[in-house]
Amino acid sequence: MKDNFPVLGFDIGGTKIGVGLVSSDGKLLGKDRIENKHSYPDEILPKMVEIGKRLVADAGLNMDQIRAIGIASPAPADFLNGIITCPTNQKHWINVPIVEYISEHFGVETHFDNDANAGMLAEWFFGAGRGFKDVIYLTMSTGIGGGVIANGHLIKGASLVAGEIGHMVLEPNGIKCNCGLTGCYEAYCGGLAIAQRMQKELADQPDHPIVQHAGGNIDDVDMIALEKAVTEDNEYAMALWSETCERNAQAYGMLMNIFNPERIILGTLAWATGDMFMKPVEEQIPRFAWKQTREACTLVKSELRRDIGYYAGPAIALNGLYEKGEFERP
């Protein structure tokens, strides 16, 4: 079916929920945000329904024109049964049957997946992955979430947790990861892990340029402070940046040889820093991937960037229809 129709979606994040109404050909018909810091589902769920219905009405549409709804949530969650179990940043969201609630209150079929898969689907249907059959998306943000499209389908895996690329172990005796394993890719290249590492290593150096770029407060040291120190050629910053680029190249090279993708689409860090990230990473890739796989693959930056949260939920809805044979992607 090549007809054009609207889908609605919610992207549940640690501090806010993105609500997007998108047409199947990629036009953003409506968007809003719900603050979601330390909140209780009892107050947020009715708001999701109210705002979703308002977006549909404001776009001049009726609810029965909305073919599907998609919900993106951080892992871990019970994706099979549509239940938000207890995400790390949401201590009050314990065993919330989100799919049942949303589908009942809207009267529309509802699909559910993790936020990184949602980002992958958003780029695939509406962004840098359009028209490709084999693509990988990496969030490259505070953590490293991943999603994999192989042979034209999102890989879900036997227990629905496929695509946890951030937790491939790159260094068995390396840095401890927040997930419990040691030496994960995310422990080297996730924004939060790098910030924590700098806070530890620079704890007794209040005059260090990185600490100064964070306003002199060690607890505020983050990727932005690092980036500034790298552009000033600070030795510590450049060594850390170069180690990070090498680890990223290692991970991308592994993905190239395993999945042989046409594109690897990179989120926040890549588009926020541009060439100072992309160039050293590309230079290192030949150490980690065969000529055949790297020549077939282009590293690209996310196209949807900051707006990805509005497209994430709708992309899950579209993928639900696509997998049932009710939607043919462009």
Which residues of the shown chain bind Zn ion in the complex (CB under 5 A)? 167, 177, 179, 181, 184
Contacts of 252 (CB under 8 A, 6+ apart): 264, 281, 285, 288, 289, 299
- Nearer to Zn ion by Cβ, of 63 and 179: the residue is 179
Nearest to 9, CA basis, from 35, 29, 36, 37: 29
Q: Does residue 186 contact residue 166 with C-beta atoms inside 8 Å?
A: yes
- Nearer to Zn ion by Cβ, of 117 and 319: the residue is 117
Q: Does residue 95 contact residue 82 with C-beta atoms inside 8 Å?
A: no
User: Measured from the CB of residue 168, what is the shortest distance to Zn ion in angstroms?
Assistant: 9
User: Measured from the CB of residue 178, what is the shortest distance to Zn ion in angstroms?
Assistant: 7
- Nearer to Zn ion by Cβ, of 77 and 318: the residue is 77
What token pair was written down for 219? 């607890």
User: Measured from the CB of residue 146, what is the shortest distance to Zn ion in angstroms?
Assistant: 12
User: Measured from the CB of residue 289, what is the shortest distance to Zn ion in angstroms?
Assistant: 22
Q: How many angstroms from the chain centroid is the CA of residue 246?
A: 21
Bridge partners, residue 45, by sequence: none
User: Measured from the CB of residue 192, what is the shortest distance to Zn ion in angstroms?
Assistant: 12
User: Measured from the CB of residue 187, what is the shortest distance to Zn ion in angstroms?
Assistant: 6
Cα separation, 268 vs 283, in Å, equals 20
User: Measured from the CB of residue 318, what is the shortest distance to Zn ion in angstroms?
Assistant: 30
Which amino acid appears at position 255 of this protein? L
Cα separation, 262 vs 129, in Å, equals 9
- Nearer to Zn ion by Cβ, of 57 and 169: the residue is 169
User: Measured from the CB of residue 184, what is the shortest distance to Zn ion in angstroms?
Assistant: 3
- Nearer to Zn ion by Cβ, of 84 and 177: the residue is 177
Could you give the C-alpha distances from 288 to 134, 173, 189, 257, in angstroms and in order? 19, 20, 17, 8
Q: Give the burial string for 41-68 (b: 16+ CB within 10 Å, else e).
A: beebeebbeebbeebbeeeebeeeebbb
- Nearer to Zn ion by Cβ, of 61 and 177: the residue is 177
In terms of DSSP bridges, do strands 69-73 and 28-35 run parallel, antiparallel, or are they unpaired? unpaired
- Nearer to Zn ion by Cβ, of 141 and 260: the residue is 141
Cα separation, 8 vs 159, in Å, equals 26
- Nearer to Zn ion by Cβ, of 97 and 174: the residue is 174
